[in-house]
Amino acid sequence: MVTATHCPYCSLQCGVDVDGIAVSGREFPTNRGGLCRKGATAGALLRHPDRLTTPLARDHKGAALGPVSWDEALDRVAAAILRTQAEHGPDAVACFGGGGLTNEKAYQLGKFARVALRTRHVDYNGRFCMSSAAAAASKAFGLDRGLPFPLSDIPQASAILLIGSNVAETMPPIMRYFERQQANGGTLIVVDPRRTATAQWATRHLQLRPGSDAAVANGLLHILVRDHHIDQEYIRRRTEGFEEALRTSAAYWPERVERITGVPEALLIEAATLLGSADRPMVLTARGPEQQAQGVNNTLAYINIALALGCVGKPFSGYGTLTGQGNGQGGREHGQKADQLPGYRRVDDPAARRQMANVWGLPAASIPGPGRPAVDLIDSIGADDGIRALIVMGSNLAVSAPDGSAVEDRLKALDLLVVCDFFLSETAALADVVLPSAQWAEEEGTMTNLEGRVIRRRCAMDPPDGVRTDLDILTSVAEHLGKQSYFPYRTAREIFEELRCATRGAPADYSGITYERIDAEDGVFWPCPSVDHPGTPRLFGDGFPRPGGRAKFHAVPHLPPADDRDDVRPLYLTTGRVLAQYQSGTQTRHVEDLERVSPEPLAEMHPATARLYGLTNGGRVRLTTRRGGATFTVKVTPTIREDTVFVAFHWGGERSVNRLTNAAVDPTSGMPEFKVCAVSAAAVDNLE
Ligand code: SF4
């Protein structure tokens, strides 16, 4: 039997048909039958011989993991939680979720933390992915939805500024939108330290120095103002704060921006002219500018450009961010963030607390307040008032968190680490209890794609014997903790019904969305406040959900990276993804076809840089940062800046580039600085 569902990986959430373990693209508005190599091979995950099919536990730290029954595993988890909380208080236990979890799971995990555990500590790996863009959009527009317009607007945009995204490799089916945009006569300007597949295909490429985004953005704004390309009427009528942003950008004249960023002055002027003379300009950011200790400010600086051009809230133009993880959007809306309740409500908002208390059937005062964001949460392990027990669901922290060796040490220091996963990931291998969970095609739920379109993930087959769904696991642990009355559900649909209720009247209002409507309409865009509301493909047409209905400019100067180059570490290290792997690789490293294409991380270096260090293509290089060192195979390529080394982050252990990255975080979003730190390089032969 063929089941219509969606790819397990990125935020494009391509429509797929699943027949047995065969996966094929299906006609769906976002992908129109197209799939990338990852989606096309996703069936290989389902009956993989490495699947976990029984709970595992170790008797004491240092002992090996061995199989145990579900009853025993759940008893151990519940007993350890109760013991930890009795000795150290409810906040000594934390939950850590993921941006790949369905909306129902994200909702349930947040509720489980606050209602079953009564802890304020719940956060997720979207903190490493989407938090800067989310914070910037909330500050500038009063609401964060990755794309506030449908993908189908892209082909009509006359000029697109795409910053820090290599979509040609990370989500290839989206390229059809950009191809149509170019066929319609539109221009694409890519900002990236690498001449990626996307940049090679663009009209112009601004190859900036890593960590210099705010200077590029201020420089472009400076030229747009100087050359009279801004929309004064829009700025006056629909925005505030322009004068301050203007004063800041005045200091970023093109020659100075060239010195800071390495982008030639003439190219900056060309790019600004293309954008400024376009009828329908569009600005799209992604992890490049966002995954920095200045990530929120970088994003705000690019949003300033969109506001100055007067394009936000107009069809076929505007500002958006390209979400990364499969449910990067819905995962940040429904309560698995440290500061958030379902529907994008704030946990410190008394009205939101009252509403959730009514839905959950408990006093508002019993809902814990804001908790620690991800990096801080991990850092606190081992501290007197820190986390002692951690439940991880849908995340492989040991690979995806910055300063990976320190993270591993912290995870080992926990009294209890529980990991729910379908493979023995690097994080699961450190756990005291591992609970085998179901995969994408073995369970029901909803996801929210990068456009804000809520879609259905359908169950195509039962999970293998011995495996339970994440929802079932959370309900079972709640039962073992004596909190079953708050978790009476048996199905994802029942949880979605509660989520609808919980988000009624909230910024991310799902109350009008039903499983039936999703089926009938190929997804529904939030906000959707009633069942007869059509959903909201485009936001901000009539105003912004901010005081006075106006969007806000922000004055954001360029600041250097937290860990800048010096004589000892004279290069920049930047990280990212490759076509054939996905995030921490827990899934894709189990797919033979993908492993053949990308079996290991490569250190991309410019030929001139390689020569300088005596390195050749295929040779080995030792990269060392202030956190530690790791050895990689060299890929010599002229597509990268001479001062920069790129390594993809999909691998663990000795192959993990995140052992080298910097855990410095953006002060607003808590986003770590994955995209830039100082590094030294040495040929391994020279070291021996
Ligand atoms: Fe899956 Fe993303 Fe590839 Fe589409 S682009 S098939 S959603 S990984």
pLDDT, tens digit (0-9, with 9 covering 90-100), for 301-358: 999 999 999 999 999 999 999 998 899 999 999 999 999 999 999 999 999 999 999 9
- Indicate the average pLDDT of the chain: 96
Query: What pLDDT is stored for residue 283 in this prediction?
Result: 98
Ligand 1 in reach of 9 Cβ (< 6 A): yes
Strand partners for 285 = 163, 321
Residue owning the nearest CA to atom 5 of ligand 1? 171
Ligand 1 in reach of 14 Cβ (< 6 A): yes
Q: How confident is the model at residue 126 (pLDDT cuts 50, 70, 90)?
A: confident
Report, as an integer, the average pLDDT of 77-104: 97
Is 105 strand, coil or helix? helix
Ligand 1 atom nearest residue 173's Cα: 5
Residue owning the nearest CA to atom 2 of ligand 1? 10
Q: In what order do the strands lie in the sheet containing 15-19?
A: 2-6, 15-19, 22-25
Q: How many residues does the chain have?
A: 688
CA gap 649, 582 in Å, rounded: 9
Instruction: Check whether 644 has a pLDDT greater than 90.
Output: yes
Ligand 1 atom nearest residue 39's Cα: 6
pLDDT, tens digit (0-9, with 9 covering 90-100), for 440-493: 999 999 999 999 999 999 999 999 999 999 999 999 999 999 999 999 988 999
pLDDT, tens digit (0-9, with 9 covering 90-100), for 136-150: 999 999 999 999 999
Query: What pLDDT is stored for residue 146 in this prediction?
Result: 95
Instruction: Check whether 98 has a pLDDT greater than 90.
Output: yes
Amino acid at 34: G
Which ranges in 335-389 belong to alpha helices (H)?
350-360, 374-379
Residue owning the nearest CA to atom 4 of ligand 1? 14
Instruction: Check whether 155 has a pLDDT greater than 60.
Output: yes
Residue owning the nearest CA to atom 3 of ligand 1? 36
CA gap 420, 56 in Å, rounded: 10
Centroid of ligand 1 to alpha carbon of 561 (angstroms)? 32
Report, as an integer, the average pLDDT of 406-426: 96
For residue 554, which of 240, 233, 232, 219 has the smallest C-alpha distance? Answer: 240
- First CA to last CA across the chain, in angstroms? 58
Ligand 1 in reach of 23 Cβ (< 6 A): no
Centroid of ligand 1 to alpha carbon of 211 (angstroms)? 28
Ligand 1 in reach of 28 Cβ (< 6 A): no
Phi/psi class of residue 128: alpha, beta or left (left: φ > 0; alpha: ψ in -120 to 50)? alpha
Q: How far is CA 285 from the centre of its chain?
A: 13
Which contacts of 270-273 are long-range, i.e. CB under 8 A and separated by 24 or more positions?
A: 270/204, 271/161, 271/189, 271/204, 271/206, 271/220, 272/220, 272/223, 272/224, 272/227, 272/229, 273/223, 273/227, 273/229
Centroid of ligand 1 to alpha carbon of 171 (angstroms)? 6
Ligand 1 in reach of 173 Cβ (< 6 A): yes
pLDDT, tens digit (0-9, with 9 covering 90-100), for 512-557: 999 999 999 999 999 999 999 999 999 999 999 999 999 999 999 9
Centroid of ligand 1 to alpha carbon of 165 (angstroms)? 15
Query: What pLDDT is stored for residue 270 in this prediction?
Result: 98
Instruction: Check whether 196 has a pLDDT greater than 80.
Output: yes
Ligand 1 in reach of 447 Cβ (< 6 A): no
Query: What pLDDT is stored for residue 129 in this prediction?
Result: 85
pLDDT, tens digit (0-9, with 9 covering 90-100), for 606-637: 999 999 999 999 999 999 999 999 999 999 99
Ligand 1 in reach of 660 Cβ (< 6 A): no
Pairing of strands 345-346, 66-67: unpaired
Centroid of ligand 1 to alpha carbon of 181 (angstroms)? 20
Centroid of ligand 1 to alpha carbon of 34 (angstroms)? 9
CA gap 236, 307 in Å, rounded: 11
E strand spans, 488-628: 524-525, 551-552, 571-576, 602-605, 620-624
Residue owning the nearest CA to atom 6 of ligand 1? 39
Q: Cβ(574)–Cβ(675) under 8 Å?
A: yes
Query: What pLDDT is stored for residue 686 in this prediction?
Result: 57
Ligand 1 in reach of 12 Cβ (< 6 A): yes
Centroid of ligand 1 to alpha carbon of 196 (angstroms)? 18
Instruction: Check whether 675 has a pLDDT greater than 80.
Output: yes
Centroid of ligand 1 to alpha carbon of 100 (angstroms)? 13
Residue owning the nearest CA to atom 1 of ligand 1? 39
Centroid of ligand 1 to alpha carbon of 154 (angstroms)? 18
Pocket test for ligand 1, best of 5, 14, 447, 453 (most atoms within 8 A of CB): 14
For residue 529, which of 508, 498, 499 has the smallest C-alpha distance? Answer: 508
For residue 551, which of 119, 134, 140 has the smallest C-alpha distance? Answer: 140
CA gap 329, 306 in Å, rounded: 21
Strand partners for 278 = none
Sequence-separated (6 or more) residues with CB below 8 Å from residue 117: 81, 85, 90, 93, 95, 481
pLDDT, tens digit (0-9, with 9 covering 90-100), for 234-266: 999 999 999 999 999 999 999 999 999 999 999
CA gap 427, 462 in Å, rounded: 26
Instruction: Check whether 687 has a pLDDT greater than 90.
Output: no
Ligand 1 atom nearest residue 6's Cα: 7
Query: What pLDDT is stored for residue 490 in this prediction?
Result: 84
CA gap 666, 687 in Å, rounded: 36
For residue 150, which of 656, 651, 526, 551 has the smallest C-alpha distance? Answer: 526
Report, as an integer, the average pLDDT of 34-56: 96
Centroid of ligand 1 to alpha carbon of 317 (angstroms)? 24
Pocket test for ligand 1, best of 5, 9, 329 (most atoms within 8 A of CB): 9
Centroid of ligand 1 to alpha carbon of 396 (angstroms)? 20
Centroid of ligand 1 to alpha carbon of 186 (angstroms)? 25
CA gap 212, 434 in Å, rounded: 42
CA gap 639, 452 in Å, rounded: 34
Query: What pLDDT is stored for residue 489 in this prediction?
Result: 87
Ligand 1 in reach of 198 Cβ (< 6 A): no
Is 518 strand, coil or helix? helix
Q: Is the dihedral of CA 357, 362, 363, 367 positive or negative?
A: negative
Q: Cβ(244)–Cβ(550) under 8 Å?
A: no
Query: What pLDDT is stored for residue 685 in this prediction?
Result: 75
Query: What pLDDT is stored for residue 10 in this prediction?
Result: 95
Q: Cβ(588)–Cβ(578) under 8 Å?
A: no
Centroid of ligand 1 to alpha carbon of 495 (angstroms)? 26
CA gap 572, 565 in Å, rounded: 7
